[in-house]
Structure 1
Amino acid sequence: MDATTNPPAQRNAGIDLLRGLSILLVVLHHIGLRIPLRKTVLLDVLPKSLLTAVNFNGYEAVFIFFVISGFLITRNALHRSGSLASIDLRAFYARRFSRIAPCLLLLVAVLSVLHLASLPDYVIHREGQSLPRAIVAALGFHLNWYEGMTGYLPGNWDVLWSLSIEEVFYLGFPIVCLLTRRTWVLVPVLIVLALSLPWTRGALADNEIWQEKAYLPGMAAIATGVLGALMVQRWHSVPRGIAAMLSVAGAFGLYLVMFEGRWLWQAMHDGSMLVLTGAALCLVLASAWSRSHLASWRGLGWLRSWGRLSYEIYLTHMFVVYSVVRLFKAMGGNVSLGFLWYLPALPMCWLLGKGLEHFASTPAERWLRRRLQVGTQASLAPAEQGVQAT
């Protein structure tokens, strides 16, 4: 089916909410590592488990992003091509390049200048690391491997580990689709990959950084999202009761991971990551099959806007985090009132992401798509514009 015959895919309010929650958790995590909420006076009025859940689920949130990303990219490919066996390789790669390259190149350029200017928090100083090698790793989609071998990079570089996993997956995904040609061949491969998460992650326990950032565990989560998109293609709608059950199951799964993580880890070890990706899949499917209901949710427009800007916020939020933490320390570093510094930090992260999207990301993406002849402005599907790290 020719892509030009299809209208642009519409945004999904439920998925934007889930994506907004995920990017918010990432930001709160990176602030919380430096100004923990459980060390503030909030501990006198709120449960420690709640404050811990708010601050320390950023890594889990990235795996939710992986599931969402796999779902959306596959849904958009199916929308344009009709089937994965008919993917237009050139158009697929051109769209990914148009989406990823402008912000990535801009970020790497800014970080390189800040490193050369010897600005604190931005200097690459670990033994075995260097600016040229970090640039190659970031642009060559193996920054996760580079960190696993040499140690953590400064925070603004470190966020690119998830991008490395996603883009390597999408480099190979359309080729695999064209080689298999049949869904009944592709689906078992995706199922095996999705279910491999506990074992691929557990096998890397001797290297903590690589265990967190290795390719296969992240790809397992992305494969889970791909399977979700194929399910929605196969069953365009389900009874409302099933969608409601999926919502409840997904919410309960996320609660277990985020609030009962220690107990869940003791019971299942790396298997708890399957609970996480399974819960994310349930919520994504519920959103896909309950669009009209979720679109009517009121009072959460701000969170959906975080979801729409998730890629831009993800790439830039550490600039705000470092600035706020520096100011916090310069003004005495009173940890008991540290929660007050979250109040300016969160809107500043959104504003920086919005500025990047408005002045650089979207204009550059549209220009590149015209140059690469993969569609006009009208073909910039709303569902694709806000894919975090994709």
Structure 2
Amino acid sequence: MHLPGPPVTRNFGIDCLRGLAIVLVIVHHLALPFRLPLGPSLLHDWLPKRLINAISFNGYEAVFIFFVISGFLITRRIVAVDGDLRQVRLRRFYVARAWRIVPLLLAVLAALTVLAALGVPGFAPDPRDQSIHGLLGSALSFTFNWYEGRTGWAPAGWDVLWSLSIEEAFYVGFPLLCLWLPRRVLVAVLLIWAVCLVPLRDLVPVADEVWREKAYWPGMAAIAWGVLAALLSLKWRCPPRTARLLALLGALAIVFAMGWGRLAHQLFRGAGMYLLCVGAACMLVGFAAWAPQPRAGLRWLARMGTLSYELYLSHMFVVLAVVASYRALLGAEPAWTFVVYVPVLAVCYGLAVLLNRAMARLLQRRHGNASRRPSAKPTSP
């Protein structure tokens, strides 16, 4: 969906990174109900356990990659549209963000509310701890993660909304910081934020498990890494060879953080997310200087990246329906769980395409109505 403002040039490398992140999120949410997606299935003996776990249970880490990408793209877009962070036009920025986020969010919330009211498992809250009104209110006020921190885990269908609260807080506050703080002070604040707040999730007491996973500050720190990467990419146009090396090193850092997470946490003294955020930031700086050419075998992944918002908000409808159907047909039999993953990704993709087209038509209708309005100061013929 195109937003108001100048056309955005797509970067194939960034789209693929975002596509990988959303695939990991979907697979993670599908793996959790099955406990292990490929093991103990029929493929268990054919794939290394480390690879199985890296593919299946890094959805949370993938969300942090989204945070870094979000900070990077928003910063570069402000500079592209307004010329400088200190010249950001608040009304234009907030309207563009609202039109990108709110229509689809309202549609998803309407569907979630209906399913919760009908008592559908995975969507209906436990009335002892949560309510539909509480879930709705926190989602609309972008305090969903705070609501979960106070009341416990939300139903699976609603739970994805926690990260949107963090991103929205960034969208609201970041332009104001750009206007209020001198550039050097802003960079210093972002650097302190990125370095000091990432490990906070590992310092929260384990007893407060929900808030440990979904607090504002660590997510904001990941976004700060993205902003810093964008500022670096705007100042430093590194040579193509250096850019490719930077992207490769960033990819290796992400692979290490996801494949050897326990070792990464030990090396970074409980803050393995540093490696993940820095790796994503390095890849983004590299891709900004050297945009990889589209490759036929990865076009599907890049397309998943362009639809990441639609996929993120809608995939749980598909995941929960497939899990319920599998259990109804095969019960707890684990042998064939691996066969559902590719079809689930395909159906999620199709649903995301439909939602994207619907939101694009809504936006086009809005611009069409605006263009037909009479001017406040008619010009003489």
Scaled by the length of structure 2, the TM-score of the pair is: 0.92
Q: 1:366: how far off?
A: 4.0
Spell out the pairing of 1:214-225 with structure 2 (5 A cutoff).
214-225=215-226
The aligned residue for residue 226 of structure 1 is: 227
The aligned residue for residue 95 of structure 2 is: 94
Q: 1:251: how far off?
A: 1.2
Does the 8 A contact of 1:253 with 1:276 survive in 2?
yes
Spell out the pairing of 1:1-390 with structure 2 (5 A cutoff).
7-35=6-34, 36=36, 37-180=38-181, 182-206=182-206, 207-235=208-236, 237-291=237-291, 294-333=292-331, 334-359=333-358, 361-368=359-366
Question: In the aligned structure 1, how far is the partner of 2:341 from the partner of 2:173?
Answer: 40
Does the 8 A contact of 1:98 with 1:369 survive in 2?
no
- Going from structure 1 to structure 2, the CA distance change for 1:78 and 1:323 (only over 3 Å counts) comes to same
Does the 8 A contact of 1:198 with 1:273 survive in 2?
yes
Which digits, 9 at most, give the CA deviation of each residue in 1:327-374, with x for residues without a partner?
Answer: 111111320111011132110111111111112x2223444567789x
Does the 8 A contact of 2:198 with 2:222 survive in 1?
no
Which digits, 9 at most, give the CA deviation of each residue in 1:228-278, with x for residues without a partner?
Answer: 11112212x211221122112111101111111122223334321010000
Q: Which moved more, 1:63-72 or 1:341-350?
A: 341-350
Does the 8 A contact of 2:108 with 2:313 survive in 1?
yes
What amino acid is the match of 1:262? R
Question: In the aligned structure 2, how far is the partner of 1:283 from the partner of 1:58?
Answer: 19
Question: In the aligned structure 1, how far is the partner of 2:368 from the partner of 2:85?
Answer: 24
What amino acid is the match of 2:347? M
What amino acid is the match of 2:78? A
- Going from structure 1 to structure 2, the CA distance change for 1:256 and 1:331 (only over 3 Å counts) comes to same
Question: In the aligned structure 1, how far is the partner of 2:368 from the partner of 2:87?
Answer: 22
What amino acid is the match of 2:167? E
What amino acid is the match of 1:260? W
- Going from structure 1 to structure 2, the CA distance change for 1:178 and 1:370 (only over 3 Å counts) comes to farther
- Going from structure 1 to structure 2, the CA distance change for 1:43 and 1:318 (only over 3 Å counts) comes to same
Does the 8 A contact of 1:152 with 1:158 survive in 2?
yes
Secondary structure at the counterpart of residue 142 of structure 2: coil
Question: In the aligned structure 1, how far is the partner of 2:138 from the partner of 2:306?
Answer: 27
Question: In the aligned structure 1, how far is the partner of 2:12 from the partner of 2:189?
Answer: 30
Question: In the aligned structure 2, how far is the partner of 1:297 from the partner of 1:99?
Answer: 28
Question: In the aligned structure 1, how far is the partner of 2:96 from the partner of 2:73?
Answer: 13
Identity level (%):
44
What amino acid is the match of 1:312? E
Does the 8 A contact of 2:198 with 2:221 survive in 1?
no
Question: In the aligned structure 2, how far is the partner of 1:41 from the partner of 1:267?
Answer: 35
| RMSD, aligned α-carbons | 1.8
Question: In the aligned structure 1, how far is the partner of 2:90 from the partner of 2:251?
Answer: 36
Q: Which moved more, 1:331-340 or 1:304-313?
A: 331-340
Larger radius of gyration: 2
